[in-house]
């Protein structure tokens, strides 16, 4: 005998079974997205590799003839997993970013016969679509303007693509310090957030907030500095800030102007 199921139970099963294909479809879409966007995938195919008229893929082994130092270290690079849609029998990792290299090889390495990503970020944007969007935000590093390139902060040929990445926190900060020297002191009284990393407060590619900040005004500071709302005011530490947090930024309200560090005041005052 078939079990007798209530009408509500049958309806619940029907709803669950109706949702199942959509759940599976969403999971499949997420997996496909990871395969296209993540640099950690084993066999990565670029969305649209650079094209060079009349050129075909020759394989990274041909690049070793002149660029032996780069190709030797490239095996340690995050980008080593890149793979252009060329001949599967060839390692075409180099050509994934520089374009097919037959014309370059046949010309003996003539200039402008290969794509140089340092001249234009468009090659990087073929994979890093999210970064292209960030560079179009109101506050951004001047990559689109041609004043700096992705290669000034990233190393595509050796090790981690993020210079100083991983456990090398101060190394990562030193990338920023190459240009932003005043923000790194040394200071007598250092803002602890600087030690945690510049990206604690800044998005290096772009932000809707001024100065590449990840949050707006006092909201940024309150992410770390604990606040307590009482009947007598809004306290940060043992100081009532009720009349301050509504005036805009903590560093422009006549208080903590030395946001990165101070030589004279432990409260980051000038």
pLDDT at 40 over 50: no
For residue 246, pLDDT beyond 80:
no
| pLDDT number for residue 106 | 95
For 89-108, how does the pLDDT look when each residue is reduced to its tens digit (9 = 90+)? Answer: 566 688 889 999 999 999 99
Q: Return mean pLDDT, the chain.
A: 80
Q: Read off the pTM.
A: 0.73
Show me where the domains of the chain are located: 40-161, 169-262
User: What pLDDT, in 10s, does the model give residues 247-258?
Assistant: 778 887 668 899
Q: How confident is the model at residue 3 (pLDDT cuts 50, 70, 90)?
A: very low
pLDDT, greater one: 97 or 237: 97
**SS3 labels along the chain:** CCCCCCHHHHHHHHHHHHHHHHHHHHHHHHHHHHHHHCCCCCCEECCCCCCCCCCCCCCHHHHCCCCHHHHHHHHHCHHHHEECCCCCCCCCHHHHHHCCCHHHHHCCCCCCCCCCHHHCCHHHHCCCHHHHHHHCCCEECCCCCCCCCHHHCECCCCCCCECCCCCCHHHHHHHHHCCCHHHHCCCCEECHHHHHCHHHCECCCEECCHHHECCCCHHHHCCCCCEEEECCEEEECCEECCCCHHHCCCCCCCCCCCCCEECCCCCCCC
């Amino acid at each position: 005998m078939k079990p007798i199921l209530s009408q509500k139970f049958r309806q619940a099963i029907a709803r669950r079974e109706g949702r199942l294909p959509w759940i599976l479809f969403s999971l499949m879409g997420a997996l496909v997205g990871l395969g296209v966007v993540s640099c950690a995938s084993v066999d990565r195919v670029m969305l649209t590799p650079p094209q060079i008229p009349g050129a075909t893929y020759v394989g990274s082994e041909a690049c070793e003839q002149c660029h032996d130092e780069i190709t030797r270290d490239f095996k340690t690079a995050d980008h080593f997993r890149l793979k252009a849609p060329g001949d599967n029998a060839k390692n075409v990792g180099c050509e994934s970013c520089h374009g097919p290299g037959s014309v370059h090889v046949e010309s003996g390495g003539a200039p402008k016969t290969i794509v140089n990503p340092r001249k234009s970020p468009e090659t990087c944007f073929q994979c890093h679509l999210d970064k292209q969007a960030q560079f179009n935000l109101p506050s951004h590093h001047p990559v689109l303007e041609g004043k700096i390139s992705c290669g000034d902060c990233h190393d595509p040929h050796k090790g981690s693509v993020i210079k100083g990445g991983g456990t090398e926190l101060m190394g990562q900060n030193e990338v920023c310090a190459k240009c932003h020297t005043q923000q790194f002191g040394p200071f007598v009284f250092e803002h602890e957030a600087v030690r945690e990393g510049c990206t604690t407060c800044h998005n290096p590619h772009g932000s809707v907030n001024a100065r590449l900040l990840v949050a707006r005004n006092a909201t940024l500071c309150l992410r770390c500095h604990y606040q307590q709302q009482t009947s007598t005011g809004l306290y940060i530490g043992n100081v009532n800030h009720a009349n301050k947090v509504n005036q805009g930024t903590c560093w422009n309200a006549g208080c903590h102007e030395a946001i990165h560090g101070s030589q004279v005041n432990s409260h980051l005052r000038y």
